[in-house]
Structure 1
Amino acid sequence: MVQTSTDKRTKKTIESFVLKFFMMSSTAIIIAFTTWIILGVMFKGVAGFEIGAFVQIEGQRSGIFATVLVTLLLVVNTLMFALPLSLIVAVYLAEYAHQDSKFAKIIRFAINVLSSTPSIVFGVFGLSFFIVLMKIPMSVFAASLTMTIVILPPLITSFEDACTSVPDNYREAAYGMGLNKTKVIFKVVLPNAMQGIVTGTILATARIIGEAAPVYLTLGTSVRMPTEGFFSSGATLTTQIYMMAAEGSNPAVIGVAYQVALVTLVLVLGLNAFSGYVAKRLNPAYKKVGFKTYWATKYNIMVKHNYKQDFVFLGKSIKNFWMKFINVFSIKRWKIIIANAKTRRAVIKNIIGEAKKNDSKTTKKLDQ
């Protein structure tokens, strides 16, 4: 029975093959679409590149440089509002709130609701509340208040995860040294959670740059220099792309739109790369490497790497996968499986029969 049960691996093999197939297919589809979008924007943006568009776009007061400045102002002002609020809520949920607290459950429920709300809803709310009701003009300030509500849920979630990832041993050691709750948070928890906090902040910055719907309803769509600071109206990179795409199929306009999209893509990818760099530097296990050593290591990885061994390993992996695939549909294997199943059923039938005979004998002895 042990032998036949061990040989019964067909179901697990098929299940494993199907799961691997779907995982690999999903990954390939995502990588293909992402690469297609990035390369498409880069090629079309470089093909239609015009230096004059940075100074002035046709039909507008200014150019791409003005949209970059407005975008940066929006990012700075939004983070000024969002970071303190997110950090306070995250620290409360991670350090003070009890798991069964109704107030904490209400906060988490509100965070989940806000996370699943479409961004255009936030734009309508910002337009009706901050601009119509509170009489704030369409400006970077009004747009930053709206974007604060948009990025609060992901910021709170990332900050809370960063705080909860700090080992409890650190807190216990701090309490053992006589520190109170406040000092433990500021001297132990937050410094050790800084890597996750910085990473979440940079990813939220990329979210601010990428949003268009909440911004053009509260900031405006005209391309102009932000001469009035945070109370200036204007267009960000994404809202300018949206307005140009909505104008029609004019080749000149579409070319400038791809150029603006290229600048946005470079900015977002740069922020993601910077996020990885900062997270790496804030890692306690990080060791600073000199300039010469760093590039010598990169040279060894790129030039002296054994690429032949990689292809050999890839070929062996494909061969093993193909052999497993053929083995699943092997007639000889299925004959062995069927024979083992028959043997297993016969053994189980004999065991049940013997058990019934023993039970009947035991019953007769007890009756006697």
Structure 2
Amino acid sequence: MGHAESEVLDVERLREDFPILQREFGGEQVVYLDNAATTQTPEPVVETIADYYRTTNANVHRGLHQLSQEASVAYEDAHDRVAEFIGASGEREEIVFTKNTTESENLVAYAWGLNELGPEDEVVLTEMEHHASLVTWQQIAKKTGATCRYIRVDEDGTLDMDHAREIITDDTAMVSVVHVSNTLGTVNPVSELADIAHDHDSYIFVDGAQSVPNRPVDVEAIDADFLAFSGHKMAGPTGIGVLYGKKHILEEMEPYLYGGEMIKKVTFEDASWNDLPWKFEAGTPVIAQGIALAEACDYLDNIGMERIQRHEEQLAQYTLEQLREEGDVETYGPSVGTERGGLVSFNLDSVHAHDLSSILNDSAVAIRAGDHCTQPLHDKMGVPASARASFYIYNTREEVDKLVSAIDDARQLFA
């Protein structure tokens, strides 16, 4: 099948924006299926970064000169653009730029969790949480005496919502849940979980690392108190993440990092804090990355997030169908025909995922292998690791066919 088989995207045209996809290894053009780890960066975003450094590079909020003013406006406007992208009506005051999703999780865990949690409190997570959520709240719980509880994952890879309603109680202070699992592809009912959390006066933190890049996400429709995601998984640069927080909660929180930029007034005895969101952006911030992230939002919106979601879903379903025809391939997560994100994790019988990934690399097929920062989930599934193919706007069914063919080669090698 050729590139034009997508029902929703002009994939051939989009691929022109990503020169890296023309790279060849051993005479084979690269098939990049590791997008859940990092997506490729399109030319308009690369040009935005280069243009910033060529024309506007200066520190923000500190200079009265023209370059500083231009950089400051572009950087502040980037917060507004990201707010618009996720439906945050509070605009820039509700958008904090961080280094990545993990730092966003830590910011809330330290700035809110250390001050608010105690031995009588519980944090509810899911068994499919990324380590960025699981380890962070686990360690904060140890520091505060709080207890972590975990919503069960059923055999089909979905959350046990009856169990969720059972363990989210009046003792629950925070519910931290992944929106789309980076291992199972499960799309969790975060809006329903938010309703349950709020019924018990708990906050909800949504890990949107695998959802914001791939589907329409409206933080106010979900009623998330916090939501985090990363630029490098949504056609943006590395080094920038986003924390969305409801304004009234962020205003009550203490800063996570101290220093320049986040202060209003400093004496030898004490200090007061800057307005939102700068209160949480200590030191020289991620200026070029923030401006480029705004460009990535434009790029994705110009394509259409609904169309991106449908394209990924089609590729994931096609991959599941192909792999499940193979009697010796086990796939994980929701079944064919069930809503899921644009990734498929699997194992080939008697072949370790790392070995499989290495063999696929010989055919220039790039996938991820390991526990995908979900070790407890893999323990529950009874496997040490899994292989994962994950898709984005520039992937095709033809590339899935190449993946399946390379798996056939691996099968023969280990026969």
TM-score interval, normalised by the smaller of the two chains: under 0.3
Q: Counting strand residues as a fraction of each chain, which structure ranks higher?
A: 2
Structure whose CA Rg is larger = 1
Higher helix share: 1
TM-score under structure 2 length normalisation = 0.22
